[in-house]
Amino acid sequence: MNLQSAGITAEFNPFHNGHRWQIDALRKRLGNVPVVVCMSGCFVQRGDAALADPLTRARTAVESGADLVLLLPSWYSLRSADYFAAGSVKTLAATGLVKTLVCGAELATGDPSDYAETSLKDTAAWSLEKAAEQQVRNLLQQGLSYGAAWEKAAREKQKEAGWFSGANNILALAYQKAILQYCPDLKLIPLPRQVSAYKDTDLRPPYASATAIRSALQKGVALSELASFMPDAAISVLQEKNINFLHRFRQQETALAMLLAHLMIRNDSRYLYEHSSASRDLCDRFHNARQELGNGYAAFCLTVACKRDPLPAVRRLALQLLLQHTRSFWTSMPEPTYLRVLAFNDMGRRLLKEMKETATLPIITKPGNEEQYKGTALYPMIRLDAAAADLYQLLNGNTGLYGTGFTASPVYVR
């Protein structure tokens, strides 16, 4: 029996009603199919530490409708949208069971799904052409930002320019490009986001963006007051953790400022360039603004950010530097080397059993001892994930807690 499944790439930071709607909508569209999620780990693509650890967030997803959650390795979650998408698409394809991917998109709202799918695929195929890339390079030289250059180029070629604006549309386009380049047998279905835009900070029941929920928690709003925007299971799992989110945000800001200040006392901007994927210009501005760390990490990042290098790129640079790898590591395009299991239910167990026959990558439940991976193809990625877990613990004040990246076991939701 081949349990063909639907795949979702997500961060669930935190899991909210819009995520639950997406899972319900894909099952309404495709039937009662198993749902496999590829989820970022300790750090999310916007360059922040996640609200809760990966196992906790994966558990909320399974208790709220997903069947199996796999880790998106940190290398991909600390890069731009195209790399993030390529890592997740390849990871889900490597299960051998996922044949359809589903993603959220603002552009799809109100449009027939077949129109959105056709428009997305056509625009993605055009954007991969060398002529389109050259057109965009010419527009960048005229002073346009990267996103604005692609929008203008698309309009000139009568393509759907909307796929180049809005975080979810940009990711949808990146997923489709990755499918065309690496996994052409997969099908991508864009589903409309419900009510709140990705960066919307308003809380309007029943749907609110993850940005709005994080903003409320950052201001000290209790989880219980956000029950209108999150499934009961997601609320209860986070309440079990008894996290003081306001304190956690402040603690992370303080730790990041101190760690970066110490790093830049000892190193110049060339070092930053040689230990990240960032441009030389961004590294120079990052280093030149180091005194701004005295006003806090958030103020520092805002000082460095610009139209060409938006805030998420600055935050991702900070995390890359703290994870201490060379530029060749960050600028390579590695293939996923394993499928790391974070959480599953009974259906997820059946999927894992079948994946022993269908998966094209090793399946890791509990990594175990680091030594067994040294000298193998798995080691660079798994070592980075372990280092990310250690940094995450440090930022949250758990200074004596190390090695969880190798010792943590997946969550079985019965």
Q: Give the pLDDT of the chain (414 residues) as one tens digit per residue.
A: 467 899 999 999 999 999 999 999 999 999 999 999 999 999 999 999 999 999 999 999 999 999 999 999 999 999 999 999 999 999 999 999 999 999 988 864 455 567 788 899 999 999 999 999 999 999 988 988 888 999 999 999 989 898 998 888 999 999 999 999 999 999 999 988 765 554 556 787 888 999 999 999 999 999 999 999 999 999 999 999 999 999 999 999 999 999 999 999 999 999 999 999 999 999 999 999 999 999 999 999 999 999 889 999 999 999 999 999 999 999 999 999 999 999 999 999 999 999 999 999 999 998 888 999 999 999 999 999 999 999 999 999 998 888 889 999 999 999
Count Cβ atoms within 10 A of the Cβ of residue 74 and give its class: 0-12 exposed, 13-18 middle, 19 or more buried.
Answer: buried
Helices assigned H by DSSP within 67-145: 74-77, 81-93, 113-127, 130-141
Beta strand extents in 122-243 (DSSP E only): 187-192
Q: For the chain, give every domain's residue range.
A: 247-331
Prediction pTM value: 0.94
Q: Give residue 23's identity as a one-letter amino acid code.
A: I
206/16 Cα distance (integer angstroms): 9
Strands 68-72 and 339-344: what pairing? antiparallel
Nearest 5°: the CA angle 371, 375, 377 is 110
- Those residues with Cβ within 8 angstroms of residue 338's Cβ, 6 or more apart along the chain or in another chain: 361, 362, 363, 364, 378, 381, 382
pLDDT of residue 260: 98
The DSSP bridge partners found for residue 71 are 39
pLDDT of residue 399: 85
pLDDT of residue 200: 58
